[in-house]
């Protein structure tokens, strides 16, 4: 059974209205982050007296690491807030990398803050480094809000440990995801001691106001975009499963119906985080791309069974309620800067590429799709792709293993042979990390500038 969805011309007209090529806001955002860090350093410097001994140096080193940790902790939460300006323009994968990197820096600064401050306090009391544990216990028991801060720090260290690559890969995604949400608890518990024990805030009401404004703004964004916006979206559109259809071995499409779904603001190339209200799936939320342009009463995702959640999708029954968050992702037509476009898909990475193949405006010959799979049987949605290519005068190619298992050659030379002007194309690609890396290197070798290679990874 096929799941071809009509309406390509209307979808292309809608896409054309949205195309406004623009620069990524990553650079100005990073400049703003560094400006904030410079402001924190200035605050510390302004309130730091002359230091005459080693104990004072240790305490003040603890102060600056603590201030920077508090600042970065707010940014870590901001990167979890799923703010559209970040998710849709910077890109969800880049924001996720920023979040992971910021988390590592924050944890290092927190540990340095605790160690340096306690060492400095011990030195001021005439004690040595061996008395560090006793000094820490004394400070936790004697200083205001330090007990909460100690619990919050312990939670943060625990989250950092389970996020280490080898450990993370051994933990089920859903378990890791829900434990990761304890970051909010850690931030809440550690916030108060910053104000009650921090010298900067004790002597400077303006600094206190700015700190409250920083954390208050981040809290408001989290509540708005992670709680209220999804609640409004799902109450308005009331989505349910319409059908589940097998597209290829291990690959199914889920048709989702609802009210005025085209008004969700989704574009081809984007994804939602989906939660299906079925037994065993209610507490799991996973990202899946749209595999067709949104229609007024229907959305579609196409998923390969590679884990517990994706495997259970085939068991969904019509009428199952659906909860979605999004749309997210920056791999849309807005990134296009050239008339000609090459779409490259590996395996189930065909899903966003199929939606773009249908909707990207272009004359005959402007759009090319290269689809990589292990065998022709694994070319999901192939009939749809062929019909779209015929209708649009687009070029459709596939690359599969030979009967003896030899992998096809996707190199700079082969790309130039198949597409002589590939260096004048924009390239959108989606697929497993290893595939994406090899294709990226081939494209760069073929002369495609990095700024015209658009890719998002949904690896967590």
Cβ atoms 67, 45 nearer than 8 A: no
Bin 107: left if φ > 0, else alpha if -120 < ψ < 50, else beta: alpha
Strand pairing report for 425-430 and 453-455: parallel
pLDDT digits over 51-72, tens only? 778 888 999 999 999 999 999 9
Domains and CATH numbers, the chain: 26-231 (1.20.120), 238-328 (2.40.30.10), 333-455 (3.40.50.80)
Query: What sign for the dihedral angle of Cα 440, 441, 446, 452?
Result: positive
Pairwise pLDDT comparison (254 vs 50), residue with the higher score: 254
Cβ atoms 352, 378 nearer than 8 A: no
**Which of 16-25, 161-170, 248-257 holds the top average pLDDT?**
248-257
Pairwise pLDDT comparison (460 vs 160), residue with the higher score: 160
* Segment 402-419 mean pLDDT: 91
pLDDT digits over 328-344, tens only? 988 888 888 889 999 99
Whole-angstrom distance, CA of residue 420 vs CA of residue 412? 11
pLDDT digits over 275-323, tens only? 999 988 888 888 999 999 888 889 999 999 887 888 899 999 999 999 9
Cβ atoms 209, 299 nearer than 8 A: no
**33-51 residues labelled b (16+ CB within 10 A) or e (exposed):** beebeeebeebbeebeeee
pLDDT confidence of 24, banded at 50, 70, 90?
low
Report pLDDT for 437.
92
* Sheet containing 286-289, strands listed edge to edge, beginning at the edge strand earlier in sequence: 286-289, 271-276, 322-328
Whole-angstrom distance, CA of residue 104 vs CA of residue 101? 5
Cβ atoms 309, 284 nearer than 8 A: yes
């Amino acid at each position: 059974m096929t799941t071809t969805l009509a309406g390509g011309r209307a979808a292309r007209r809608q896409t054309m209205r949205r195309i406004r090529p623009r620069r990524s806001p990553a650079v100005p955002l990073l400049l703003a982050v560094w400006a904030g860090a410079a402001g924190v350093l200035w605050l510390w410097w302004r309130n730091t007296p002359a230091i005459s001994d080693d104990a004072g140096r240790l305490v003040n080193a603890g102060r600056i690491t603590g201030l920077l940790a508090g600042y970065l902790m707010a940014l870590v939460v901001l990167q979890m807030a799923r703010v559209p300006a970040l998710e849709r323009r910077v890109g969800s994968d880049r924001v996720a990398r920023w979040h992971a990197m910021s988390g590592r820096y924050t944890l290092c600064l927190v540990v340095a803050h605790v160690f340096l401050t306690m060492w400095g306090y011990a030195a001021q009391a005439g004690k040595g480094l061996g008395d560090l544990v006793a000094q820490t216990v004394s400070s936790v028991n004697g200083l205001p809000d330090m007990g909460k801060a100690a619990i919050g720090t312990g939670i943060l260290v625990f989250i950092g440990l389970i996020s280490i690559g080898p450990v993370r890969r051994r933990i089920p995604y859903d378990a890791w995801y829900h434990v990761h949400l304890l970051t909010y608890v850690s931030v809440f518990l550690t916030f108060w001691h910053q104000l009650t024990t921090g010298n900067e805030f004790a002597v400077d009401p303006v600094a206190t106001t700015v700190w409250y404004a920083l954390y208050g703004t981040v809290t408001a964004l989290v509540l708005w975009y992670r709680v209220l916006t999804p609640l409004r979206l799902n109450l308005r559109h009331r989505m349910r499963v319409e059908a589940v259809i097998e597209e290829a071995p291990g690959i199914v499409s889920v048709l989702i119906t609802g009210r005025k779904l085209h008004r969700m603001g989704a574009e081809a190339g984007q994804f939602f985080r989906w939660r299906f209200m079925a037994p065993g799936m209610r507490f799991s939320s996973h990202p899946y791309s749209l595999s067709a342009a949104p229609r007024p009463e229907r959305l579609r995702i196409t998923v390969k069974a590679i884990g517990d959640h994706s495997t259970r999708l085939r068991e969904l029954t019509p009428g199952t309620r659906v909860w979605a968050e999004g749309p997210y992702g920056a791999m849309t037509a807005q990134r296009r800067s050239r008339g000609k476009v090459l779409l490259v898909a590996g395996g189930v990475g065909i899903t966003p590429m199929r939606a773009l193949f249908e909707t990207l405006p272009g004359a005959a010959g402007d759009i090319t799709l290269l689809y990589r799979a292990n065998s022709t049987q694994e070319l999901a949605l192939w009939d749809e792709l062929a019909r779209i290519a015929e209708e649009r005068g687009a070029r459709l190619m596939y690359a599969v293993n030979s009967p003896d298992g030899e992998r096809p050659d996707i190199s700079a030379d082969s790309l130039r042979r198949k597409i002589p002007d590939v260096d004048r194309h924009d390239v959108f690609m989606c697929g497993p990390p290893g595939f994406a890396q090899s294709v990226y290197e081939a494209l760069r070798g073929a002369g495609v500038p990095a700024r015209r290679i658009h890719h998002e990874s949904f690896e967590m």
